[in-house]
Amino acid sequence: MATIQRVAIFGASGHFGVPITDALVTAGFDVTIITRAESSSTFPDGIPVIRTSYTIGKLTEALRGQDAAVCVVGIPGIPHHKAMIDAAEAAGVKRFILNEFDWGPDFQGLPEFNDISAGRAEGRNHAAALAEANHNFTYTGIAIGNPIDWALRAFPFMGFNIPERSAVIFDAGTEQFTATTLQGIGQAVVGVLRKPAETANRRVKVRSLKVCQNEILEAFEKATGNAWDVKRGSTKDLLVSGRRKKGEGDGSWVMDLVVAQLYEEGVGRSIVAASREESDADLLGVEEETVDGVVGKALKG
Ligand SMILES: NC(=O)c1ccc[n+]([C@@H]2O[C@H](COP(=O)([O-])OP(=O)(O)OC[C@H]3O[C@@H](n4cnc5c(N)ncnc54)[C@H](OP(=O)(O)O)[C@@H]3O)[C@@H](O)[C@H]2O)c1
């Protein structure tokens, strides 16, 4: 497969788009940002920006000459995913990185999230059908698990309130999950584009570490030099409250069930790859990180 050098990215100003764009530029790719005509996002100086409406025709024009496209738009952008894939294939783009960044093929998520999984599968199946018909077009999905350094900062509901130095430990706090840092997410995209043959037409599994809540708390206490105020929570209670809220149309059900899904004791749901060897981390050059290192990043913000 030919080398990939010119890379377009959708969603470059987003939570994951920023570190991915930075990693692509640092790795020496020629990056072009594609953004919505109506977007108010801002972008780093020195990177070409194409502002366009997201019709297949306009997107095909925008993508012409690119070797690869990375789609990392937020949930409101998912309805455009299929048009982006169609446009990439029509424009002669060799690799499309899907808007996944999820938990991968083995994830046993709660049924309440089936709609999100179905939306992702629709894009993936569409890309797979195009790749089957046109061997010059290929796709990759990247599974990252929990985006840990960002999530610890952004969502105190995950159990760690950094400014207040307080924590809620759910169940026994020993449920292990896999996670990838923002640096690891950026490197995963770079790794896929540097290894196009090995990553063609499949989902890759990425992890920076496997960890549990008790280990994160211990690392936070060590890093901050004081004991945190710790309360106990129950994932059973979260499952009940999340399902009740969903029934009542209260949008906060999502966080209840995301956290229950992450920490539910003895279920092992939230594992992208049980060991580093079972993941694609080595292939893609995603570093193994320590819990102390991750907590340090979360504290630095
Ligand atoms: N594994 C996990 O736990 C986890 C957590 C969070 C997110 N994710 C996944 O990661 C991906 C990126 O999420 P994110 O949080 O980085 O996204 P985000 O920050 O919410 O949004 C990224 C970009 O999406 C574009 N966008 C927003 N609304 C749009 C619309 N209506 N149409 C088209 N584009 C739109 C915007 O770019 P422009 O303004 O430039 O157009 C925006 O900057 C998603 O697939 C998400 O599901 C996974």
Ligand 1: does its nearest atom lie under 6 Å from the Cβ of 37? no
Q: What stretches of the chain adopt beta strand conformation (E)?
A: 6-10, 30-36, 49-52, 68-71, 95-97, 138-143, 160-161, 166-170, 177-179, 202-205, 209-211, 229-233
pLDDT band (50, 70, 90) for residue 1: low
Ligand 1: does its nearest atom lie under 6 Å from the Cβ of 117? no
Cβ neighbours of 247 (radius 10 Å)? 9
Q: What is the mean pLDDT of residues 246-256?
A: 96
Looking at residue 167, what DSSP letter applies?
E
**What are the sequence ranges of the domains in the chain?**
6-145+180-205, 148-178+209-274+288-300
pLDDT band (50, 70, 90) for residue 301: confident
Share of the chain above pLDDT 70, in %: 100
Ligand 1: does its nearest atom lie under 6 Å from the Cβ of 173? no
Distance 16 CA to ligand 1 centre (A): 8
Distance 189 CA to ligand 1 centre (A): 16
Ligand 1: does its nearest atom lie under 6 Å from the Cβ of 293? no
Cβ contacts of residue 34 below 8 Å, gap of 6+?
8, 9, 10, 49, 50, 52, 59, 62, 63, 69
CB 100 within 8 A of CB 230: no
Chain mean pLDDT for the chain: 96
The whole-number pLDDT of residue 108 equals 86
What does the pLDDT look like over 149-192, one tens digit per residue?
Answer: 999 999 999 999 999 999 999 999 999 999 999 999 999 999 99
What sign for the dihedral angle of Cα 188, 293, 154, 12? negative
Pocket perturbation via mutation, ligand 1, pick of 73, 120, 149 by most ligand atoms within 8 A of CB: 73
**288 forms bridges with which residues in the sheet?**
none
Ligand 1: does its nearest atom lie under 6 Å from the Cβ of 279? no
Ligand 1: does its nearest atom lie under 6 Å from the Cβ of 144? yes
Residue-level length of the chain:
301
The pair of three-digit structure tokens given for residue 187, joined into one six-digit string: 């490197």
Radius of gyration of the chain (CA): 20
**220 forms bridges with which residues in the sheet?**
none
Location of structure tokens 């196009």: 196
Yes or no: is domain 6-145+180-205 CATH 3.40.50.1110? no
Top-level class of domain 148-178+209-274+288-300: alpha beta
What does the pLDDT look like over 15-70, one tens digit per residue?
Answer: 999 999 999 999 999 999 999 999 999 999 999 999 999 999 999 999 999 999 99
Ligand 1: does its nearest atom lie under 6 Å from the Cβ of 80? yes
The whole-number pLDDT of residue 106 equals 86
* Whole-number Å distance between alpha carbons of 99 and 21: 15
Ligand 1: does its nearest atom lie under 6 Å from the Cβ of 17? yes
What does the pLDDT look like over 100-138, one tens digit per residue?
Answer: 999 998 888 999 999 888 989 999 999 999 999 999 999
**Residue located nearest, by CA, to atom 46 of ligand 1:** 74
